[in-house]
Amino acid sequence: AVAGADEFAIVPEELDLLAAGALPLAALTAWQALFEAVKLDSGQKILIHAGAGGVGHFAVQFALERGAHVVATASAANRDFLAELGVHEVIDYRTTDVAEECYGLDVVLDLVGGEEGKRSLHTLGEHGVLVTIPTVTADEIISAAENMGLRAHGMTVRPDVFHLDEIAELIEDGDVRVHLDQVFPLDQVAHAHELLEGGHVRGKLVLDCR
């Protein structure tokens, strides 16, 4: 694999290379969604869908570090995991409708898309904003927001070594941690994809190509 020198960041001493491999794409997605697309600030209230997933578990930690009040959706099995990360409120998406539970939110980070993303528009306050990550349903969610007089944005992550350096500093300071759900050898890549597509991964899956 070849990349420009300006796309590399130094791996924090606290991370081994397997954990470091899980970091860039997911962490940069969370970082740019929260701090570029939205400009999340201290004291704001944010709902993060799929808070225990690869992008989600970084997003909740970044939001908490910024001083936001964090609500996250997850299965009941991940409630304790998110509580350990410091999430203020965990909503079981299987038993609770977020539109009935949340209102007046400043930010929604939608990592699920589709009907869940559109339903989440009802949780926003008058000046709130929703950022949706799944590109396949972004346009319909943005259109639904416009029809309701609300704001919604889609976004696509981009390489940014300066953001990676800021994230690495948080890891070095102990404010953010990388959670690896499972590590697979390369010959089990198909099984890893099956698990990922099932939508119930906690943290990140990693392929060990060594």
CA distances from 143 to 6, 12, 67, 146 (A): 37, 41, 31, 5
What is the per-residue pLDDT for 200?
A: 85
Question: Does residue 68 form part of some domain?
Answer: yes
pLDDT of 8 over the 90 cut: no
**How far, in Å, CA of 73 to CA of 52, rounded?**
8
* pLDDT for position 3: 84
CA distances from 80 to 19, 70, 75, 94, 201 (A): 22, 15, 10, 16, 15
Interval 131-168: pLDDT, tens: 999 999 999 999 999 999 999 999 999 999 999 999 99
Q: Is the pLDDT of residue 2 over 90?
A: no
Greatest Cα pair distance in the chain: 51
Q: Is 155 inside any structural domain?
A: yes
CA distance 191 to 47: 31
Please report whether residue 144 resides in a domain: yes
Other beta carbons within 10 angstroms of residue 198's beta carbon come to 8
Q: Has residue 54 been placed in a domain?
A: yes
Beta bridge partners of 184: 207
What CATH number is given to the structural domain containing 63? 3.40.50.720
Note whether residue 152 is domain-resident.
yes
Structural domain count of the chain: 1
pLDDT tens string 60-118? 999 999 999 999 999 999 999 999 999 999 999 999 999 999 999 999 999 999 999 99
Q: Is the pTM of this model over 0.85?
A: yes
What does the pLDDT average to over 1-24? 88
> What would the 3-class secondary structure string for 50-100 be?
CCCCHHHHHHHHHHHHHCCEEEEEECHHHHHHHHHHCCCEEEECCCCCHHH
- Would you say residue 129 lies in a domain? yes
- Measured CA to CA, the distance from residue 149 to residue 140 in angstroms comes to 14
**H/E element, 148:** none
Record the tokens describing residue 151, joined without a space.
Answer: 């704001």
- Packing angle of the helix pair 54-66, 24-32 (nearest 10 deg): 50
Buried b (16+ CB within 10 A) or exposed e, 23-47: bbebbbbbbbbbbebbebeeebbbb
Domain assignment of residue 148, given as a range: 11-180
In a domain, 209, yes or no: no
Distance CA 89, CA 135 (A): 27
Least confident range from 1-10, 18-27, 149-158, 195-204: namely 1-10
CB count within 10 Å of CB 103 equals: 13
- Indicate the DSSP class of residue 35: I
- State the average pLDDT over residues 156-185: 94
Residue 188 is assigned to a structural domain of this protein? no
Residue 77: both structure tokens together: 């099995």
